[in-house]
Amino acid sequence: MYLLIVFGPLLGALIAGLFGRILGDKSAQLVTTGFLILSAVLSLFAFNQVAYNGHEQLIHVMNWFAVGDFQAAWALRVDTLTAVMLVVVTFVSSLVHVYSWGYMADDPHKARFFAYLSFFTFAMLMLVTANNFLQMFFGWEGVGLASYLLIGFWYKKPEANAAAIKAFVTNRVGDFGFALGILTIFAVFGALDFDTVFGAAHDNAALVIPFLWMQFNAIELIAFLLFIGAMGKSAQFFLHVWLPDAMEGPTPVSALIHAATMVTAGVFLVARCAPLFEMAPHASLFVTVIGAMTAFFAATVGLVQNDIKRVIAYSTCSQLGYMFMAGGLGMYDAAIFHLFTHAFFKALLFLGAGSVIIGLHHEQDMRKMGGIAKKMPLTWIFMIIGTIALTGVGIPGTSFGFAGFFSKDAIIEGAWEAGVAGTAFGYQAFWVGIVAALMTSFYSWRVIFMTFHGTYRGDQHTFDHAHESPRSMLVPLALLSAGAIFAGVLFAGDFIGDKQAGFWRGATVIEAVADTSHEAPDAHAVPEQHAAASAEDHGGGHHVPTWVAWSPFVVTLIGFAIAWFMYITREGLGARMAARSRYVHPFLYNKWYFDELYDIVLVRGARKLGDLFWKGGDQRIIDGFGPNGFAAATLAGAKRIAKLQTGFLYHYAFVMLIGLVGFITWILVSGVSGGH
């Protein structure tokens, strides 16, 4: 069953990619979509077997390679964490495949597109089922390759090519850190499989190793390097710049890769390596700070963006920041729960945005939208459901709430409890979460109001021909809407409630902390605080002040009210404020000028360094002494000598006579000299 879940999408990708022209687009779509739906159905069955019946497995596929005493086996690790990711990846991917039947209906390269989608799904499944760091790195690089291919799918569009290259290069920076982390793991533990590394982590808690001419705690260094990889793949602060530009790819790509699956790989990595991060309080603090900074930064930028997909992209960045903030505070279960619920409502929002774009003939600028709710009523309803789930609407202390309410509030309340327990940056993370929730509510409802309400501001011909999306696009939206409504209330007890210990069974660090935290040396006392923050009721609001439990709901209402006032009551107020703003709006609209800063510091610097090696090294030195130096002199001499070849017989006879005279003269002179 698990082999079919993982390798079924690969088989579909190979069939569509290699034989798509022979089979035709329809057959390629049927094959790839069929394998994905089968994987999704089997993943649901596997989730039930593993999470609720305790059927964890380690499935040996083959021996990969052996070098000396080191052996790398290809195996599938199936525990609750894996089962959750299998459901997320295959469920969203199968719906994206179905959705793409309608969205890509007019594209002439559908077979190639579906092959890329299925290949991406296979790579992501390899990542989440890996049993060692080397196998995980294979999947890690595989999703990076698939992301590059899908972002640049419309390769005749210069913006798409530039975005694909930007994503690829930025991820290489993070992947370099990940690779260094894997090398350090092997240097410290002599192995790369998870059980060996995690089992020996506590014994190496005090080990110090040199790195960059300094001494570092080995576990701290490993955790830090692994998180650098997570920062790149999950678009965290400093390495976030590729994600908004990735919206140049087809909208189904945005929903699959940049909302629900690939960008969550970093969160999965932190959760999988929880035993290491529990022994690395400083690296965990770094994770918390970067997550909080990302949640705040991305929310501020999302306030003023006008491209509907870019707003949702920055929302993804912000929500990923919440997940890392939770992971850094030791709330790995809450981080994965938010990952789980986020997959439903963020994929719903991206696919809903795609429905709007198709209905308005590929218009993405919200300034050219408005008043289309009557034209696209179902899309409007689905987008509102996704918005309510994203903003986390729910009544604290009750079972009423959409998906985001249960998972996001669990992180915010857990951050407060972590602060109470003395965990560094706990209180600060709480307040960042509250402020980000306020901004999330504002920019989310801003999208709804600017797109579906008020006066239409675009081309009248486009409005007259606006239409609802086909059934192949609406059915996935309906299914994702069900997840956005019910995923939180149905699974909160398992992920973060009183059933979590039996649900996870040590797949996160819950059990590991209980077994080892009391033995940790004084330098690593923070993991005990992590254990306190990861208590079974940390997200339920049972042990937080009432005002803490109600704060997210209150700021959500405030954000909604501000958006209503600016875009419904005083329609056009937002545009007028933006036009009058000289500093704040340009600063946020230009994304804190990160692209410009990186262009000055990195791009131009790299170009100048390249010019130095090219013009100074290659042209002046290599070419100067080579093709333009000795070689040029030889060529010039040869050309002059060649002119002596006149073709006249008497010239050659004259030369021979001169040579003979010279030879006789040399003999005579030599003889005279020898006689003396």
Alpha-carbon Rg of the chain, whole angstroms? 31
Among candidate residues 624, 200, 562, the one with its CA nearest the CA of residue 391: 562
Helix (H) or strand (E) holding 107: none
Q: Are 408 and 552 in contact (CB under 8 A)?
A: yes
CA distances (Å), origin 69, targets 131, 185, 190: 18, 16, 9
Q: Which residues of the chain have pLDDT under 50?
A: 511-541
What pTM was estimated for this model as a whole?
0.87
Distance in angstroms (rounded) separating the CA atoms of residues 390 and 295:
14
CA neighbor of 174 nearest in space, from 274, 263, 289: 263
State the helix-helix crossing angle for 110-128 and 265-272, rounded to 10 degrees. 10
Structure tokens at 321: 């920041």
Indicate the pairing of strand 70-78 with strand 214-217.
Answer: unpaired
What number of CA atoms fall less than 13 Å from residue 647's CA on the CB side? 0
How far apart are the C-alpha atoms of 521 and 182, rounded to whole Å? Answer: 25
What local confidence, expressed as pLDDT, does residue 428 receive? 95
Q: How many CA atoms lie within 13 A of 58 on its CB side?
A: 7
How far is the C-alpha of 258 from the C-alpha of 574, rounded, in Å?
Answer: 28
Give me the pLDDT at residue 516, please: 40
* Cα distance between residue 434 and residue 413, in whole Å: 10
Q: Is 95 exposed, middle or buried (0-12, 13-18, 19+ CB in 10 A)?
A: buried
**Rounded to the nearest 10 degrees, how much is the dihedral formed by the CA atoms of 461, 465, 467, 472?**
-110
DSSP 241: T
Q: How far is CA 562 from CA 395, 439, 659, in A?
A: 21, 10, 103
The pLDDT assigned to 459 comes to 87
pLDDT at 510: 52
- d(CA 492, CA 399) in angstroms, rounded, equals 10
Helix (H, G, I), strand (E, B) or coil at 396: coil
Q: Classify residue 568 by burial, with Cβ atoms within 10 Å: 0-12, 13-18, 19+.
A: middle
Q: Long-range contact list for 72-77, CB < 8 A, 24+ apart?
A: 72/132, 72/134, 72/135, 72/192, 73/131, 73/132, 73/193, 74/135, 75/131, 75/132, 75/135, 76/2, 76/3, 76/6, 76/129, 76/131, 77/129, 77/130, 77/131, 77/194
Identify the pLDDT of residue 182: 95
Query: Using CB atoms within 10 A of its CB, is residue 418 exposed (0-12), middle (13-18) or buried (19+)?
Result: buried
For 177-306, list the strands marked E by DSSP. Answer: 208-211, 214-217
> C-alpha angle with apex 625: 622 to 626, nearest 5 degrees?
70
Contacts of 578 (CB under 8 A, 6+ apart): 304, 585, 589
**Of 553, 573, 398, which is closest to residue 488 (Cα–Cα)?**
398
Collapsing DSSP states into helix, strand and coil, what is residue 583? coil
Q: How far apart are CA 235 and CA 244, in angstroms?
A: 9
DSSP 144: H
What is the number of alpha carbons within 13 Å of residue 539 lying toward its C-beta? 34
Burial class (CB in 10 A: 0-12, 13-18, 19+), 500: buried
With H, G, I as helix, E, B as strand and everything else as coil, classify residue 572. coil
Residue type, 386: G
pLDDT for 515 equals: 42
Q: Which residues contact 391 (CB under 8 A, 6 or more apart)?
A: 404, 437, 440, 441, 444, 445, 556, 559, 560
Distance CA 338, CA 345 (A): 11
pLDDT tens per residue, range 30-51: 999 999 999 999 999 999 999 9
Nearest C-alpha neighbor of 234 from the set 287, 197, 302, 193: 287
- What count of Cα atoms within 13 Å lies in the side-chain half-sphere of residue 81? 28
Q: Which residues of 379-410 are buried (b: 16+ CB within 10 A; e: fewer)?
A: bbbbbbbbbbbbbbbbebeeeebbbbbbbbbb
Whether 335 contacts 324, CB under 8 Å: yes
How many other β-carbons are positioned within 10 Å of the β-carbon of residue 173?
16
pLDDT at position 640: 81
Q: Are strands 57-67 and 70-78 parallel, antiparallel or unpaired?
A: antiparallel
Buried b (16+ CB within 10 A) or exposed e, 40-78: bebbeebbebbbeeeebeeeebeeeeeeeeeebbbbbbb
* Contact predicate 326/332, CB 8 Å: yes
Instruction: Compute the distance between CA of residue 365 and CA of residue 382 in angstroms, rounded to an integer.
Output: 20
Residue 262 CA to residue 338 CA, distance in Å, equals: 15
